Amino acid sequence: MDPSTAGVRLASAVVGPLVRKLFVREGPGAALTGAPVRLSALVSFRGEKRTLTAKDLHQLAAELVRRAVDAAGPGERPVPADEDTAVADALAASLGALGDLDMDDAQAVQLGATALAARLTAAAPHATRDLSQGAEELHRTLLTTSCLHIVHFFTQRSTFVARTLVQQSRGLDTLIDRVDTLIARQPSVHAADAVFARDYLRYIARKHSRLTIYGIDLTNSPDRWPLDAAYLSLRAAPRHHTDPGGLTHLDGLGAEPAPPPLEPADRALAHLDRVLLRGVAGSGKSTLVQWLAVGCTREPAETPLPHLYGRIPFVLPLRTLHRADALPTPDRFLSTVGCPLAGSQPPGWAERVLTAGRGLLLVDGLDEIPEADRRRTLDWLRDLLDAFPDSPNLWMVTTRPSAVREDWLAAENFTEQTLAPMGREEVAAFIARWHA
């Protein structure tokens, strides 16, 4: 077993105490026995000495799963969140099979962790029957990790095992030490990423949760307004298309079809991965970008945009990007837009976010750069898309209607949408909010 992966980045200080709960607490002198002990007599969830209930066993397994998921870090979950309970159920069943094995502690140590895990899996085959491939792999890794600490515990509790299986006992001591040393010397990249992502999302929430509204001249009015108070829900519709001959698509009766219904613009990315959003000057494109970015920072129960939970927003105003010598690669996204946290960004963090498909790339203002630079921008977008072709990142590019031709990003599978003028409901909301 590879010691660098055996612990699923779970050190002995985490796994050891949990594993010891599987076994009875023995009185003084019990470890001085001169013979091996049956596993069924050692476990704490069977027989007269039972101290661990079925519920306790499941909670122990669930805690191991939780620790493994936490160690993996956000965006690197070994399984989707809705499979955690299934893995915990399977792990509890497999560990519960310790009481069914026809062997003693010395035989378990001779087998070793990997073979003991295989025996437990075979003893409870129903446990993993309905698991997905990822869930089965997590179960196997956690069970093998648990068995490593189980056999190590046996060498420590019994002088007979330690005396008769000297080589195995020393090997287990060395293996446990190596795992702990590797974890200590090589801090989890995912842990560092998680800390930075937390700080970055807090910064995004503070920076973009307020906006400046030009043209308001009120006595003692603030320079910036809370986004939640100022944002009005915008609506958008798919852009009207014509065929190559310039003819409008007609329905089967030769009549022009009814226009598609409008939908909230901030919900477009709930069902589309890539959107090119057109809107006239002052229609709210940049405000929508801020709204989406802030939506990533809120818990699902606190936001009307739960589909953005877990996303990392990159707000990329093209006018700012084009001031640099070259359009940025992901590692320079933050520094190019002047984010003060750029210097503390873990190396490779942005690339890992995009590889995991967690990015929300908000490329704002195609119309704000010279026409000659738009071709360079298109090439830059294509390079980014080609670099992460199978990652389900979300993309929104904004522009005025006339800045780029129709279907400018169609080859890259962008869906075009157009912001609609305020309807009666939006006008009423605007009047109530600003003039009541």
Domain 192-435: CATH class, spelled out: alpha beta
Number of C-beta neighbours around residue 91 at 10 A: 26
Residues 6+ apart with CB under 8 A from 296: 201, 204, 308, 309, 310, 311, 312, 313, 360
As to burial, measured by CB atoms within 10 angstroms (0-12 exposed, 13-18 middle, 19+ buried), residue 402 is exposed
Residues 359, 316: Cα–Cα separation, whole Å: 12
Tokens of 341: 């946290």
> What digits encode the pLDDT tens for the residues 41-89?
888 888 777 888 999 999 999 999 988 887 776 556 788 888 999 999 9
Q: Where are the domains of the chain?
A: 3-186, 192-435
Sort strands 225-226 and 312-317 into parallel, antiparallel or unpaired.
unpaired
How far is it between the farthest Cα atoms of the chain? 95
**pLDDT tens-digit profile, the chain (436 residues):** 333 333 456 766 678 788 889 988 765 444 445 567 888 888 888 877 788 899 999 999 999 998 888 777 655 678 888 899 999 999 999 999 998 898 887 888 888 888 999 999 999 999 999 999 989 999 999 999 899 888 888 887 665 555 555 556 555 666 666 665 655 555 566 778 888 998 999 999 999 887 665 455 555 555 565 565 556 678 888 875 433 333 444 445 555 555 667 888 888 888 899 999 998 887 788 889 999 999 998 877 777 888 888 899 999 999 999 998 889 999 999 999 999 999 999 999 999 999 988 999 999 999 999 988 999 999 999 999 999 998 899 999 999 998 899 889 999 999 999 988 765 665 555 545 555 5
Q: Is the dihedral of CA 158, 164, 170, 171 positive or negative?
A: negative
pTM value > 0.85: no
Query: What one-letter code names the amino acid at 297?
Result: T
> What digits encode the pLDDT tens for the residues 85-105?
999 999 999 999 998 898 887
Helix (H, G, I), strand (E, B) or coil at 239: coil
Residue 203 contacts residue 339 (beta carbons within 8 Å): yes
Ramachandran class of 284: left when φ > 0, alpha when ψ lies in -120 to 50, beta otherwise: left
